[in-house]
Amino acid sequence: MAARPFKRPDPDEDDDDARREALSTSEDESPNRLVVGLDCRSMNLYRFLRVRFPRMPHGELRRWIGEQLVRVNGTPVTDSRPLRFGDLVEVDAEVTRPVARGTRALRPEVIHRDASLIAVAKPSGLATAGERSARVPHLLGLLRRAAPDAPVKLVHRIDKSASGVVLFALGTEAKRALQAEFAARRAVKDYVALVSGHVEDAPQRIDAPLTLRRGRIAKMVATPDRGKPAVTLVRGLLRFRGYTLVHARPVTGRTHQIRAHLRHLGHSLVGDALYDGEEQLWLSRIKLDYRHARGERERPLLDRLALHAFRLRITSPATGEAVTCVAPLPRELRSALRQLQKAAGTRIVNDFDALLADPIGARAGGDPFCAIPVGSP
């Protein structure tokens, strides 16, 4: 069976949207059928199965390969060979894949709505728009089902593994107006991210062009002499034992920009194995006297990408007024941060909205980044 050709995005999607789709390994009609994306190209088969079935015992994955239960492009495979972009991997075994957080509830959480736009809080693990199969839930589809009479249009995306504010337009004219706001960099996007290491409180500007590296695993890398201009403003918010909660504001909108820029600084995000981050956050790593009960396995404090689109500020096409949309931190992120604060012996901070509004390092006004000239990247 030949692998299906890679599906190109719609013509009205920009170049970064095309890269986002290419960087994702997409599911086909069932959990047993997987198409290899650029991020998994050149992975060996065993590693690919581990990535796509993270809760399946490793011995079971090896059994699948050894007993010829895995086919690549229709041919049974018994060794852990490298895969190629576009390969179709089929598993002839009972597969139970974890359901993405939020996909069970078929009513998207709307945080703001007017005559021209809808702002929704996206959970981690749910794609913003459709992947290869209409059977795989995605935010745009769920929103259209929840509001079948509304002309919901895609305006922008955030990473599937991230959470937070996503904006949709109501109608074609509103979509054009909102996308013009993003293109002119008038839309202000504020993220929080948990990263390894110590990040200074003082705001700083990361000005490093990004390009797609098509090596063993495709990802965005900082390339000073080439690539697309990319600027991110960052500052440390809270420091823990070995970690920092960071406020990041992307001025440009490149694929994986915050993840690649923070990696460029030497501070990979928790849960971001693609950019050399820890795959999971464990209490035993941060609590020196940690002991778990005999016979019990430790569960990770956090097993998702620690990146959240906290706030989005934009002008509404319907009213011409500024709109601020805030998506509170999901429960799993709040719980992990609370444990980090306890382990570090610091004051427990729960009001993250106030924390992000604190004008650290600012000369005037309430914007913490107003002291940094954005300029033209």
Q: Which residues are catalytic?
A: 159
Q: Is the distance from CB of 204 to CB of 233 less than 8 angstroms?
A: yes
Helix (H, G, I), strand (E, B) or coil at 110: strand
Q: Which of 359, 14, 307 is nearest to 164 (CA)?
A: 307
Helix axes 45-52, 58-66, angle to 10 degrees: 130
Q: Are 190 and 247 in contact (CB under 8 A)?
A: yes
CA distance 186 to 164: 19
Nearest Cα to Cα of residue 23 among 85, 75, 96, 115: 85
| 59 φ, ψ (degrees, to nearest 5) | -65, -35
Q: Report the run of H or E that residue 204 belongs to, with start and end.
A: strand 204-207
**For residues 180 and 175, what is the distance between their CA atoms, to the nearest angstrom?**
8
Asked whether the beta carbons of 217 and 42 are under 8 A apart, the reply is yes
DSSP 38: G
Largest Cα–Cα distance of the chain, in whole Å? 67
Strands 163-170 vs 152-154: parallel, antiparallel or unpaired: antiparallel
Query: How many residues are listed for the chain in this entry?
Result: 377
CA pair distance 269, 267, nearest whole angstrom: 7
- Cβ contact 196:277 at 8 Å: yes
- Cα separation, 173 vs 246, whole angstroms: 35
